[in-house]
Structure 1
Amino acid sequence: MLSFCVCLHPSALPTVEVVSPQSPFYSGDAVTLRCDIPKYTDWHQYVWLKDNSTVPGKTNQTITITLPHEAGQYQCYRRREDSSVAPYMSRPVKITFTALPSATVVVVSPQSPFYSGDAVTLKCNITQYTDWHQYVWLKDNSTVPGKTTQTITITLPQEAGHYQCYRRREDRSNTSSLSGPVTIKNNDKLVLVYANKTWMEALQYCREHHVDLVSVSSEQIQHWVEGWAKGASSPHVWLGLRYSCNLGIWFWVKGVTVCYDNWASDAEREQGCARRVGAVGRDGGQWVSLEETDKLNFICTNERKSVSVCQGCVCTYVCVCVYLVGCVFICVISSLTLF
């Protein structure tokens, strides 16, 4: 008895094709697959297999699966009507998914600390892949309308808050992961008051509404002061800096002498009794001595500290400390008239 072997060329085998979307696939993607049967049209039922097991209810040429729970290895074949010929199985196609890319919010400019009036530029970075078409920004957990680009600019203080971002992919329902929050707020240790007042009026205002006129006892505080001063409406801004003609020293209103300084010149510092109060320049941030009757913007501090450090010498809030050789200092009770 003769037997015949029916051989099928590989090109005639069924194939599983990915219709949409194209890889890479992400959690939440709905992936459409198609079973292509070359030649012949008299097939009446498609059969789909996932990981070598028949998928119930999937009998059409195209099927849609949802990731991640339907990820796996897919194959297909089709039965011919009224035929006992064994079906030919497609080669397997593995459908896997990738974790959603991470989003991060980066501050482009300026660097912190931020000040009232600053325009802060933020950037949403997506580390993997580029086929994402729209950025979404959130402020304090609410979507920010009109902010759909990778970089945005916000203005302080009215747009201060906690910022997050993510990005949508074109024609897909899923998104990147939501970034962690980045807090953008202006430096609230200091406040610039735009009203023009004399030095004494400014001192009184700060003590009534805040804590005091600012004392610049370190380079860091000087940096903060320069940032605030840039937004002033007057060419100079009052500091809590005063000259005592009785003692022949410059001192801060919080009760310490000047250790750190940023005078524009020695001549400014040596004005002494001629110009008895200090201010910082809006442009450049250097200190000048001025008449206390001038009317300027001023910077108040919201920090209340009872102890300061002056070149290694501890000075109490109620004293003016004069630094001498070997850290010997004279403590003058603040009730004395130093002005």
Structure 2
Amino acid sequence: MGRNITLVGKRLCWSDALLYCRDFHWDLLSIRGPEEQEMIDEMVSSAPFSLTSHLWVGLRRSILGTSWFWMSGDPMDFTQWEHGSHQSSPCGSMASMEPSTWRQRSCEEHLNFFCYTGPTDGENQVHFYSSTREKQ
């Protein structure tokens, strides 16, 4: 896979989790296929600390639309959305109790999250504006 994935024990809102990952790793995790989802599910099941019911990943919904994208700029070729999930929030997570299930969650929830580092040049990373920072 070529990426190092870290399950972070801190519990942050989605935007703070994104900025934490970009400060200390590379980005919130994007899940690019079923093999990666399976590996992530294994990490969740063997976590060395108690997890929140959902975990932030780098999923974001277009503010004025219904399409989702990865903040890393990775293509959205693979999805694991919960059936019947409504889209009232622009922040995406994965369930920690039900492996391989993605759900939208309130961006303000404080959840554990996944960061990753790996070979990448950063050209596709989606810019995220934060009113609390001059530059992210």
Residues 245 and 192 (structure 1), Cα distance of their counterparts in 2 relative to 1, 3 Å cut: same
Q: Identity of counterpart residues, as a percentage?
A: 24
Is the contact between residue 211 and residue 301 of structure 1 (CA under 8 Å) also seen in structure 2? yes
Q: Pick from 218, 225, 245 the counterpart of residue 63 of structure 2.
A: 245
Identify, as 1 or 2, the structure richer in strand: 1
Is the contact between residue 229 and residue 281 of structure 1 (CA under 8 Å) also seen in structure 2? no
Q: Pick from 59, 62, 78 the counterpart of residue 260 of structure 1.
A: 78
Structure 2 CA distance for aligned equivalents of residues 304 and 293 of structure 1: 30
Is the contact between residue 226 and residue 284 of structure 1 (CA under 8 Å) also seen in structure 2? no
TM superposition outliers: structure 1 runs of 4+ over 6 Å: none
Q: Normalising by the residue count of structure 1, what TM-score does the alignment of the two structures yield?
A: 0.34
After TM superposition, the structure 1 = structure 2 runs for residues 94-243 of structure 1, keeping only pairs within 5 Å, are 189-230=4-45, 231=47, 232-243=50-61
* Aligned-residue offset at 1:256: 3.6
* 1:292 matched to 2:99: no
Residues 227-260 of structure 1 deviation map (CA, whole Å, 9 limit, x = unaligned): 2222252111111000002343100011144220
CA RMSD of aligned residues (A): 2.5
Is the contact between residue 229 and residue 280 of structure 1 (CA under 8 Å) also seen in structure 2? no
* Aligned-residue offset at 1:282: 1.0
Identify, as 1 or 2, the structure richer in helix: 2
Residues 202 and 245 (structure 1), Cα distance of their counterparts in 2 relative to 1, 3 Å cut: same
* 1:301 matched to 2:111: no
Residues 214 and 247 (structure 1), Cα distance of their counterparts in 2 relative to 1, 3 Å cut: same
Structure 2 CA distance for aligned equivalents of residues 304 and 191 of structure 1: 15
* Aligned-residue offset at 1:263: 1.2
For structure 2, the residue ranges without an aligned partner over 5 or more in a row are 130-136
* Aligned-residue offset at 1:203: 0.4
Partner of 1:279: 93
Aligned residue pairs total 124
Q: Secondary structure at the match of 2:20?
A: helix
Structure number with higher relative contact order (C-alpha < 8 Å, ≥ 6 residues apart)? 2
Q: Secondary structure at the match of 1:191?
A: strand
For structure 1, the residue ranges without an aligned partner over 5 or more in a row are 1-187, 308-315, 319-333
Q: Secondary structure at the match of 1:283?
A: coil
* Aligned-residue offset at 1:336: 9.5
Q: Normalising by the residue count of structure 2, what TM-score does the alignment of the two structures yield?
A: 0.79
Q: Which of the two has higher C-alpha Rg?
A: 1
- Which amino acid in 2 is paired with 1:317? N
Residues 247 and 336 (structure 1), Cα distance of their counterparts in 2 relative to 1, 3 Å cut: farther
Q: Secondary structure at the match of 2:41?
A: helix
